[in-house]
Amino acid sequence: MFKDLFQKKKYAVVPSERTKRDIPEGLMNRCPKCGQIQLSKELEKNLKVCSGCGHHYRLNAWERIAMTLDEGRLFEIDENLVSEDPLDFPGYASKLEQQKANSGLKDAVVTGEGEIGGFPVVIGVMSFDFFSGSMGSVVGEKVTRAIERATEKKLPLVLFSTSGGARMQESILSLMQMAKTSAALAKFHEQGGLFISVFTDPTLGGVSASFASLGDYILAEPGAIVGFAGRIVIEQTIRQKLPDNFQTAEFNLKHGQLDKVVPRKEMKAILTKLLDMHAWKGEPADVQ
C-alpha cells in the first residue's frame, strides 16, 4: 500500500549532474590520507572508500542518498526552503549564492521519504559542501519538519549528520534551532518513534550538541570526526597538542559515545537490520 502511495508522487531521482559535480575532475584520484592513486571510476565503485587505507571520502547529500535508499529514490520534501539574511549580516547574502552555485543545493540538508531495505523511513541527509553543513533556520526547520513527519506518520527516522556547527551569520536564530529540533525529538521519542542517527565526517558544534546526539542508536562512519568543540579551540584552551585520533569515531567509540562504527559498505545492511528488528510485530516463532 505504501508503495502505491509512493508511485503517485513526484520522485526526485538522484540527478546525475549533481552527483557528478563532486567527483574529482579527471580519471585519477589521490587519497588524501595514504596518497594512493586510484581510478576515479574504481573509487566510485568502492563507494568512495580508498582501497589502500580505507579512508572514507566525504559524500554530498545526493551521493549518500544514492547509496542508502532503495534504488536511490527519494520523495523529497521542503526542497523549496531557502535561507534569508535575517540579521543583514555582512557578506551572508552573497556567500549563500556562492554556496548554492558550488553545491547545487539550496541548503545544507536534504529531507524526504524513501525506503531502506524495503522499510519506509523519513530521512534527512546533511551535506558538508553547502556552507560547511552549518545549521541555520532552514536546516533547523527542515530537520524539525522531517521529525514531525515521522511522528505523524509513525515512521522510523534516519538522519545522516555532517556539520561544522551553527551558522554564525544567523546568530541567535541558529542557536535556537538546537532547541527546536530537540523539542521535536522529545515528542517523537515520547510516542515511541525509532531514530537512528549516523555521524559522518565531520559533525561538530550545534548539530552534534542537539538532534544528532539524541538517537536511539548512534552509528558513525570510520574515521569521522565528531565532537562539540573544534580541535583548534581545544588546543588553545588546554595549551597542548591533541593526539591524532582525538574525536575520531574510533576514539568516541572507546569513550562510550557511540553504538557502533560502521564501514560505508555495511551501512545499508546495518540500517536494514535495525529497521527490521523494530518493524517486527508478530508472534515468536515456534521453538522446537
Partner 1 sequence: MSSELPFERPLAELRKKIDELKHFGAEKQIDFSDEIARLEERYKQLESEVYGGMSAAQIMHMARHHQRPTSLDYISLIFTDFVELHGDRVFADDLAIVGGLAKLNGMPVTVVGHQRGKDTKDNIQRFFGSPHPEGFRKALRFMQQANKFGRPIITLIDTKGAYPGDTAEERNQSEAIARNLLEMANFGVPIVCVVIGEGGSGGALALGVGNRVLMLENAIYSVISPNGAASILWKDASKADQAAEAMKITAKDLLEFGVIEEIIPEPQGGAHRDKAAQAESIKEALWRNLQELGKLSPDELREDRYRKFRKVGRFGTAELE
Scanning 39-47, 54-62, 137-145, 279-287 for contacts with partner 1 by CB under 8 A, the matching segment is: 137-145
Q: Rounded distance, CA 167 to CA 176, Å?
A: 11
Report the 10 Å Cβ neighbour count for 142. Answer: 26
Residues of span 38-77 touching partner 1 by CB under 8 A: none
CB 254 to Zn ion: min, Å: 23
Strand partners, 216: none
Q: Rounded distance, CA 23 to CA 163, Å?
A: 20
Closer CB to partner 1, 19 or 203, in the complex: 203
Which of Zn ion, partner 1, none does residue 185 bind to, with CB < 5 to 8 Å depending on kind?
A: partner 1
Q: Is 191 helix (H, G, I), strand (E, B) or coil?
A: coil
229 close to 209: Cβ distance less than 8 angstroms = no
Report the 10 Å Cβ neighbour count for 218. Answer: 21
Binding residue for partner 1, selected from 59, 208, 224, 267, defined by CB under 8 A = 208
Say whether residue 81 binds partner 1 (CB under 8 A): yes
C-alpha grid cell, residue 66:
544514492
Q: Is 257 helix (H, G, I), strand (E, B) or coil?
A: coil
Sorted by sequence, the CB contacts under 8 Å of residue 161 that are 6+ apart come out as 126, 133, 197, 198, 199, 200, 203, 207, 208, 211, 212
| Count of residues interacting with partner 1 (CB under 8 A) | 63
Give contact residues for Zn ion (rule: CB under 5 A): 31, 33-34, 36, 50, 52-53, 55
CB 117 to partner 1: min, Å: 28
CB 86 to partner 1: min, Å: 4
Length of the chain: 288
Residues that bind partner 1 (CB under 8 A): 79-84, 86-87, 89-90, 106, 136-138, 140-141, 144, 166-168, 170-180, 182-187, 189-190, 205-206, 208-214, 226-229, 233-234, 237-238, 240, 242, 246-247, 255-257
